[in-house]
Amino acid sequence: MARNSLQSLASPDAEPIVRVSGRSIASGLIVSLRPHQWTKNLLIFAALLFGQHLTDPTATLRAMAAFLVFCGLSGAVYLVNDVMDRAGDRRHAHKATRPIAAGEISPRLALAAAALVGLASIAGAFRLSPAMAGVASGYAALLIAYSVFLKHLVIVDVMTIAAGFVLRAVAGGVAIGVSVSAWLLLCTSLLALFLALSKRRHEMVELAGSAAEHRPSLGEYSPYLLDQMISVVTASTLIAYCFYAISPDVAARFGTDWLGLTIPFPLYGIFRYLYLVHQKSEGGSPTEILLADRPLLSCVVLWSVAVVLIVYRPW
């Protein structure tokens, strides 16, 4: 099945193509790389922050290099994903204008660009370290598998998305040579599940009865089921962060027990996100919500500042 899916990646479609005028092939490729989504890769800097290496210039430069590597990898994965989804995207109100779905970029060109960007990114990861290249390759393989077939497996689809975020956190630690704590991996995976499930719920509500036509796996979900899953993951995420913030081991490592003062920020941030999902019918793109919603963005910024002040105690 996977082999047939791969063989059909660049096959021509018989469906009509709606072209968007005024955009060159080069600009279409850039749009398809989705640079606005690269903010997800900021998670790579978590190990730098919590590993207390934020003031180390060498570690900071290596983390920035890892960030660029994953920007390239995620862009390559988006190209593959858009090739796989082009038929369904043409039936979607917003996704129909994506360059590949709109016929501005051919599937063969998109796959060639994805291969070029992906290989260049993995080569850059190898320059950092063989271990970094291993994590980067694993991330690329996992997310390509998601684009090809894992996205069609109910529950496995959201767990795969969460695994991609966990690999970003691991990459941040590998890049600067520090171990990533189990707390960071746990909080990252739970928060990623929360965002992925919220996105699925938004898709279900937005597409209504045609959700299964856009993607068969969506037919296996329902808003009620997703709300139950989101409730479980929301509680788990907040509890995990609270236990982390007040953990005696964490207090001993940072030399302060004040990290618990940051608990209100994730509380407000998650509640604000749920408000946007349920009351404002948003949640389709966590990145766009973060950048567009000022209260949520302010919460994240204030949390980051508070963590830096507490962990590094500049006074």
Closest CA to 124 of 70, 88, 185, 168: 70
Considering only CA atoms, which of 111, 112, 81 is closest in space to residue 95?
A: 81
Q: Which residues contact 60 (CB under 8 A, 6 or more apart)?
A: 48, 53, 54
Percent of the chain with pLDDT over 90: 60
Instruction: Give the CATH superfamily of 23-180.
Output: UbiA prenyltransferase (1.10.357.140)
pLDDT above 90: residue 113: yes
pLDDT of 141 higher than 80: yes
Of the two residues 87 and 315, the one the predictor is more confident about is 87
Length of the chain: 315
Inform me whether the pLDDT recorded for 5 exceeds 60: no
| pLDDT tens, residue by residue, 228-238 | 999 999 999 99
**Does residue 282 surpass a pLDDT of 80?**
no
| Highest mean pLDDT, choosing among 94-98, 117-121, 311-315 | 117-121
Give the C-alpha separation, 312 to 54, whole Å. Answer: 9
**pLDDT tens column, 60-105:** 999 999 999 999 999 999 999 999 988 877 877 777 888 888 888 8
The tokens of 66 are what? Answer: 């890892």
CA R_g for the chain: 20
DSSP strand E in 140-248: where?
Answer: none
Separate counts of helices (H) and strands (E) for the chain:
15, 0
Residues 6 or more apart whose CB falls under 8 angstroms from that of 171 comprise: 44, 66, 69, 70, 132, 135, 136, 139
Taking residue 5's Cβ as centre, other Cβ atoms within 10 Å add up to 13
Cα–Cα dist 185/127, whole Å? 25
- pLDDT per residue as tens digits for the range 146-181: 999 999 899 999 999 999 999 999 999 999 999 888
pLDDT over threshold 70, residue 4? no
